[in-house]
Amino acid sequence: LYGEGYITIKQLLSGNNAAVISNSIFAEYSSIPWLIIAFTLVTVFAKSAATLVTLGAGGNGGIFAPSLIMGGLIGFLVAFTANTLGIAHLNTANFIVAGMAASLSAIMHAPLTGIFLIAEITGGYVLMVPLMITSAISYLINRSTNKYSIYTKPLAEKGELLSHEDKDSTVLNMMKLRYLIEKDYQILKTTDTLAAKMPEILLSKRNIFPVLNEDNNLKGIIYVEDILRNSMDKKAALNIFDLIQLSPYSVTPETNVKAVLEIMERENVWVLPVLDTNNRYLGFVSKTAIFNKYRALLSRQADYME
């Protein structure tokens, strides 16, 4: 569990079936086939658990070597068990090599790497067809349940995976919302009156106005159409607070840009307010800003994406 396991695999390939158990407290019982089978089975699960704990705790124990060792042990376990039961007389070394290729192909989602790398390491080019079959089967089974490999899954879960298969998502994942925030909006306070703020409102180039309280927390938004309609009704003393419309959706600077676009499409809105973790107003993000940045990145990455 603590080592890489290459020595054990090498001894198993040379025909030393007791190598799995030779350095354990059960070494004196190495002549008992069923103990070897049980110990190998426990070792496979323990090696897997140890690798998961190490990686999950932030350690760097590697994935490549444990994948090879576990695959080799599983191949040995299948062949040795079949031979012990008398079901068939299998070549243990061949099954170890096939198990290593299958494990590597499934975990890394790289069947060709598994086939040629294992063939090169072991010199088993005569096993090319069995390696191709086992690698293809293991890859297809794992790919049917896990779209991403163990290397790319963390990036995919965080929405940071760059892929040639989905160019739109790739470009959107390259964008950071914090750089798309527009801050040139006329800010209104809940205590302001419509008459006092009318000159600034008329000079604004925006048709939407954020309304904040004394702590810069967003209380809602006001559209210019509502302001003009109420000003024509001669309600000069009307308070800004009376015109507020609540914004049901807001985003943070850390929100994924693709998720922002999905909200905009679902709610049929063109802009969304951006707030920090304390609900303080930072600005707005608009489809226009996202699409402009999208076009710029797509043009810059054209050669890479082809």
Q: Where are the beta strands (DSSP E) in the chain?
A: 188-189, 208-212, 218-223, 271-275, 281-286
**Residue 140: which residues within 8 A CB-CB, separation 6 or more?**
none
CATH 3.10.580.10 domain extents, the chain:
173-305
Task: Name the nearest CA neighbour of 247 among 267, 265, 229, 233.
Answer: 267
CA 42 from centre of chain: 31
Is the domain spanning 173-305 CATH 3.10.580.10? The answer is yes
Checking if the pLDDT of 138 tops 90, the result is yes
DSSP letter assigned to residue 236: T
CA geometry: angle 240, 242, 245, nearest 5 deg: 90
Reduce the DSSP state of residue 211 to 3 states and report it: strand
CA dihedral 20, 21, 23, 29 (to 10 degrees): -160
Q: What is the pLDDT of residues 47-90, one digit of tens each?
A: 888 888 887 777 766 788 888 889 999 999 999 999 999 888 89
Checking if the pLDDT of 32 tops 70, the result is yes
Q: For residues 25-46, give the mean pLDDT.
A: 86
pLDDT at 272: 92
Task: Name the nearest CA neighbour of 12 among 43, 54, 51, 49.
Answer: 43
